[in-house]
Amino acid sequence: MASRVRLATLPTALEACPGLGAAIGAPGLLTKRDDLAGAEYGGNKVRKLEYLLGDALDRGCDAVVTFGAAGSNHALATAIYARQVGLTCWAVLTDQVETPWVANTLRWHGLLGTRLLHGTGFAATGLAAERLRASHPAGPQALYEVPWGGSSPQGSLGFVDAGTELATQLAAAGLTAPVRVYLPCGTMGSVAGLLAGLGRAGVAATVVSVKVVPQNVVDAAAVLQLTRETERLLPPPALTSGKRHRASLEFRPEFAGEGYALPTPEAREALALARDLAGFSLDTTYSGKALACLISDARTGRLEGHIPVFWQTWNSRPYPAELAAVDTTRLPAEFQKFFA
Ligand SMILES: Cc1ncc(COP(=O)(O)O)c(C=O)c1O
Cα(211) to ligand 1 centroid in Å equals: 10
pLDDT at 246: 77
Is the CB of 71 inside a 6 Å radius of any atom of ligand 1? Answer: no
Q: Are 32 and 291 in contact (CB under 8 A)?
A: no
The DSSP line for 126-159 is HHHHHHHHHT-TT-GGGEEEPPGGG-SHHHHHHH
So where are the chain's domains? 14-43+152-311, 46-150
Note the pLDDT tens digit of each residue in 70-110: 999 999 999 999 999 999 999 999 999 999 899 999 999 99
| Fold matches, 14-43+152-311 and 46-150 | yes
pTM over 0.95: yes
Is the CB of 12 inside a 6 Å radius of any atom of ligand 1? Answer: no
Distance CA 171, CA 202 (A): 11
Is the CB of 286 inside a 6 Å radius of any atom of ligand 1? Answer: yes
Q: E strands along 165-272, which residues?
A: 179-185, 205-211, 248-252
Note the pLDDT tens digit of each residue in 100-158: 899 999 999 999 999 999 999 889 999 999 999 999 999 999 999 999 999 999 999 99
Cα(243) to ligand 1 centroid in Å equals: 32
CATH 3.40.50.1100 is right for the domain spanning 46-150: yes
CATH number of 14-43+152-311: 3.40.50.1100
pLDDT at 242: 62
Residue 155 Cα: closest atom of ligand 1: 10
Distance CA 108, CA 150 (A): 19
